[in-house]
Structures are given as structure tokens and as C-alpha cells.
Amino acid sequence: MKIDCKHVWQHISAYIDGDVDAVLRAEIDRHLEHCEICSAVMDSTRNVVVLIADERVFEIPAGFSERLHRRLDAVLSESSPGSFSPT
């Protein structure tokens, strides 16, 4: 079985996640060896996935954690978990 470019694009995400079976993976690998376009699409998609996973993309506001735990301190000292009853 020979697969075409569109077929490869359908499986890019699954391929990156290692979620394609061995036969399909081998077919895709064979296609990538000679298809410049699909190789570049695959590499660029993988690059995007790696970059967006980086913690630096979404910056947490300065002092966020301190403010959160200070607020929680107030709640923790006034009630035990599950004992809260709305007034």
C-alpha cells in the first residue's frame, strides 16, 4: 500500500503521539523519506507542539502563588474541609 500526502496529513497528530500502528508508521516513514512537503509539515507541526508546551509561553502573574496561599490561609484557619455551611 502506498499512501499519498493527504493521507499522511490525516495522521500527523497521531503519528507525533505515537498513536499509529506499526504498519501505518512504516508507510508514513517511507513517504516522508521522499516527500519534502510532508517532511516539512511533520517537522513544523512537531516543532509547534514542543514550543507551546514550554512553560514560558504562559506567564503567571508575579506574586500569584503568594496571594493564592495567603487567601487560602484565611480559609483554612476559619473552617475545616467539608465543614463549610453557607450562611
Under DSSP, the state recorded for 10 is H
**Alpha helix locations (H) across 35-63?**
36-52
72 binds another protein (CB under 8 A): yes
Nine cell digits for residue 40: 516539512
80 binds another protein (CB under 8 A): yes
Nearer to another protein, 21 or 58 (CB): 58
4 binds another protein (CB under 8 A): no
Compute the least distance from the CB of residue 24 to another protein, in Å: 14
- Site track 22-61 with another protein (rule: CB under 8 A), x = hit: --------------xx-xxx-xxx-xxxxxxxxxxxxxxx
**64: Cα separation from own chain's centroid:** 24
Residues 6+ apart with CB under 8 A from 49: 16
CA distance 53 to 61: 18
DSSP E strands: which ranges in the chain? none
Residues that bind another protein (CB under 8 A): 9-10, 12-14, 16, 19, 36-37, 39-41, 43-45, 47-61, 64-65, 67-69, 71-72, 75-77, 79-82, 84
